[in-house]
Amino acid sequence: MTGARPSTAPGTSSGGRSATDERLIGRLLIAVTYVAVGLLSVGVVLMIVDGISPLGGGPRLDIATVGAHLLAREPAAFLWLGLMAVIAAPIGRVIVAAVAFARDADWLMVGIALGILAVIAIGVGSTVTVTV
Amino acid sequence: MLVGLLMLAAGAAAGAFGSLLGLGGGVLIVPLLTLGFGLPLREAVGVSLICVIMTSSAAAGVYLERHVANLRLGMTLELFTAFGALVGGSIAFLLSDQLLSFLFAALLLYVAATMARGRGAELDIESDPDPHAVMVPEPAARQTALDRLSGDAYRIHSLGLGVIGATGAGIGSALLGIGGGVIKVPLMHLAMGVPLRVATATSNMMIGITAAVSALIYIIHGGIDPYVAGPTAIGVFLGATAGSRLGDRVDLRYLRLLFVVVLVVTALQMLLRVVA
């Protein structure tokens, strides 16, 4: 996708499509980052309005209750959603890249992308197992 | 309330300095939160990971739009930085605060020495074409995996070294809350033959996944406090944005000198924590 397609010249067929894919991935990263900044900003404003000190210790992430806490306008819920959006941005980039590589039948890169996602899944799975 | 605003301001200062000097925020955020606000080192590392993902995603988005970053090479090395981050994130909760503080102090001294020499730390994205760059064959002739990871105007080599370095960068990132650019950029540029501007952009792109792996591990362990991470991350984002716009108007020679002093003093304070 980075001008390294073996059989196509840049600007034509899948070479041009690769450039478009990179632009799309770049825009996705920027858009999700701004969404995260928005959510975190709302959380910080609510935190300040509620007079919460950061040094008092915040709640741990509880995915099951984030929705209800968002409706209750609790600052921690907005902050957690913003933090998850921050983390989701690069992971989303890998997923979109994997789809683009699959469309170009570049199976080596698809495998690498899936490998990255597998490492993330193993990291989450093994940590949950250890901490529960 | 005041502490939240102070954290936002501290994050903004770290983001602005980091952006002006071409450093990731982690080198600054961790000492700020530990020495300035009294947070445990591991909690500061978790917050720092969030901040480096944020700045990395925004910058990497621009680099990808402009086709500066090498997505294929970046993703290949990411597989190994992610693995390193998985290992580092897992052992971070087994290491003592003293050992982590010592490692962080060593990192600060390394960065200070690099900056004092006037190279490496300030990574100019618009630098001249790289002398290590080698012209690659026409696209139709690119057959090997290395060729396919190379760019239009350069051919990479020593992928094995890159894999080892990327794994080490991932471990360092997870343990110390840094982006790992201090390892990845010289590695890609000097050892693998990637032009400096491409190495910088590709390293920046890789930071997101590397830090995301360890950030998820930190969150599950309860190592990230949303009330600390929120204001700090917003501050870093605003500071980095401002810093990127102020770059042309600031004399970086004096700023770099000041920064070397700050890094050395901070490293000594971290070492004092170890002794204490």
Q: What is the pLDDT of residue B50?
A: 95
Q: Do A37 and B57 touch (CB under 8 A)?
A: no
Instruction: Calculate how close chain A gets to B216, using CA atoms only, in Å.
Output: 7
Residue B123 has pLDDT above 60, yes or no: no
Question: Average pLDDT in the B60-89 region?
Answer: 90
Q: What whole-number distance in Å separates Cα of residue A7 and Cα of residue B43? A: 48
Return the number of other C-beta atoms located less than 10 Å from residue B107's C-beta.
22
Residue in A closest to B213 by C-alpha: A120
The residues, any chain, with a CB within 8 Å of residue B89's CB and separated by 6 or more, are A123, A127, B174, B213, B214, B216, B217, B218
Q: Do A51 and B3 touch (CB under 8 A)?
A: no
Return the number of other C-beta atoms located less than 10 Å from residue B210's C-beta.
36
Model confidence at A15, pLDDT cuts 50, 70, 90, reads: low
Give buried/exposed letters for B40-55 (b at 16+ CB in 10 A, else e): ebbbbbbbbbbbbbbb
Q: What is the pLDDT of residue B248?
A: 67
Q: What is the pLDDT of residue B144?
A: 74
Q: What is the pLDDT of residue B128?
A: 43
Model ipTM value:
0.84
Q: Do B65 and A26 touch (CB under 8 A)?
A: yes
Of A32, A61, A122, the CB nearest to B86: A122
Q: State CA A35 to chain mean position distance.
A: 11
Question: Average pLDDT in the B196-203 region?
Answer: 87
Q: What whole-number distance in Å separates Cα of residue B116 and Cα of residue B27? A: 16
Residue A1 has pLDDT above 70, yes or no: no
Q: What is the pLDDT of residue A70?
A: 87
pLDDT tens by residue, B127-138: 444 444 444 444
Instruction: Calculate how close chain B gets to A67, using CA atoms only, in Å.
Output: 16
Selected residue of B64, B83, B144 to mutate for chain A interface (largest A Cβ count, 10 A)? B64
Residue in A closest to B73 by C-alpha: A2
Q: What is the pLDDT of residue A34?
A: 93
Residue in A closest to B222 by C-alpha: A60
pLDDT tens by residue, B23-53: 767 788 988 999 899 999 889 999 999 999 9
Tokens of B152: 């239009």
Residues of chain A contacting residue B79, judged by C-beta atoms under 8 Å apart: 112, 115-116, 119
Of B8, B82, B139, the CB nearest to A116: B82
Top-ranked range on mean pLDDT: pick from A54-58, A66-70, B160-164, B248-252: B160-164
Give buried/exposed letters for B215-249 (b at 16+ CB in 10 A, else e): bbbbbbbebbbbbbbbbbbbbbbbbbbebbeeeee
